């Protein structure tokens, strides 16, 4: 089978992640969309490693899995901290750095 299907799948997954990142407000969905975009890139790297006949792509993909794990830890801790401060998961309500924002 040809690698074109894998290319199409990776670009579709990346775009779905981008759509989720742009159009949703729930912090958890934002986090999962970012993870999905990273995973799409790692699928692309694994495909390229088979197409080009070199195992380096798989190694980068493995390193990306490590990055995903560390990102998950920090992001989830941040979500817990944000939820504790305002009791909401709405990303629009965290605007403490905006000019003239109400500090409630």
Partner 1 sequence: MLEISIFAILALFMLGGSITMIVNKQPVFSAFGFLVTMIGLAGMFALLNSQFLAIAQIMVSVGAVVVLSMLTILTVNAKEENLPKEPHKFKWILFSSIVVAPFTLLVYKTLSILPAHFSDIGTINSKVVGELLFTDWVLPFEILSILLLSAMLGAIVIGRDSKKKKKKSQKRRRL
Interaction with partner 1 in 1-30: which residues (CB under 8 A)? 1-20, 22-26, 28-29
Judged by CB under 8 A, does residue 94 bind partner 1?
Answer: no
Name the residue nearer to partner 1 (CB basis): 80 or 96: 80
Residue pair 44/61 in contact (Cβ under 8 Å)? The answer is no
**In the complex with partner 1, which residue's Cβ is closer, 65 or 101?**
65
Contacts by 8-15 with C-beta closer than 8 Å and gap 24+? 9/43, 10/40, 10/41, 10/43, 10/44, 10/47, 11/40, 13/37, 13/39, 13/40, 13/43, 14/40, 14/41
Q: Which of 83, 95, 96, 101 touches partner 1 by CB under 8 A?
A: 83
Task: Give the per-residue contact string, 39-78, with partner 1 (x = CB under 8 A; - = no).
Answer: x--xxx-xxxxxxxxxxx-xxxxxx-xxxxxxxxxx-xxx
């Amino acid at each position: 089978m040809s690698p074109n299907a894998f290319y199409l799948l990776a670009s579709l997954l990346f775009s779905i992640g981008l759509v989720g990142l742009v159009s949703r407000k729930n912090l958890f969905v934002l986090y999962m969309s970012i993870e999905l975009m990273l995973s799409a890139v790692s699928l692309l790297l694994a495909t390229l490693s088979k197409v080009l006949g070199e195992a380096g792509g798989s190694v980068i993909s493995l390193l990306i899995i490590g990055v995903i794990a560390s990102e998950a830890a920090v992001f989830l801790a941040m979500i817990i901290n944000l939820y504790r401060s305002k009791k909401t998961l709405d990303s629009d309500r965290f605007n403490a750095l905006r000019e003239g924002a109400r500090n409630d």
